[in-house]
């Protein structure tokens, strides 16, 4: 679910930035994959970490835009993608249980 949220947010952000910068995109795909030790998630090994050790986000674009425009597109997509920034910066989290 985390990778799906990242792909969705990054794709929408990239398209919005491309539109704002007037970078023509004929087609494109966004994919994400990550390295995860399921032993930690499943509780099989208490020393194994829970969560992704690495995430890779890839944009495959069909465009004639020059590399400098694509570099700017990637930079701004990273900057404005909420899910990407949330993962990258690790926000403060609070957890609570409330009784009904």
Q: Which residues make Cβ contacts (< 8 Å) with residue 53, sequence separation at least 6?
A: 34, 35, 36, 37
Residue range 84-99: mean pLDDT, rounded: 96
Residue range 58-85: mean pLDDT, rounded: 98
- State the DSSP H helix or E strand holding residue 17, giving kind and residue range, or none if neither: helix 2-20
> Given a cut of 90, is residue 36 above it in pLDDT?
yes
Q: What is the pLDDT of residue 74?
A: 98
Domains in the chain and their CATH numbers? 2-32+58-89 (3.30.300.20)
> Given a cut of 90, is residue 12 above it in pLDDT?
yes
Give pLDDT tens digits for 40-60: 989 999 999 999 999 999 999
Q: What is the pLDDT of residue 27?
A: 98
User: What is the sign of the dihedral through the CA atoms of 63, 65, 67 and 71?
Assistant: negative
> What pTM did the predictor assign?
0.90
DSSP 52-100: EEEEEEEEEEE----HHHHHHHHHHHHHH-HHHHHHHH-----------
């Amino acid at each position: 679910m985390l990778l799906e949220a990242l792909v969705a947010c990054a794709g929408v952000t990239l398209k919005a930035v491309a539109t704002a910068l007037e970078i023509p995109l004929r087609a494109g795909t966004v994919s994400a994959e990550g390295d995860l030790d399921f032993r930690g998630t499943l509780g099989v090994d208490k020393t194994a970490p829970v969560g992704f050790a690495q995430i890779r986000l890839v944009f495959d674009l069909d465009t004639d835009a020059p590399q400098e425009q694509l570099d700017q597109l990637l930079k701004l997509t990273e900057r404005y993608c909420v899910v990407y920034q949330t993962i990258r910066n690790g926000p403060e989290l609070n957890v609570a249980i409330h009784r009904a």
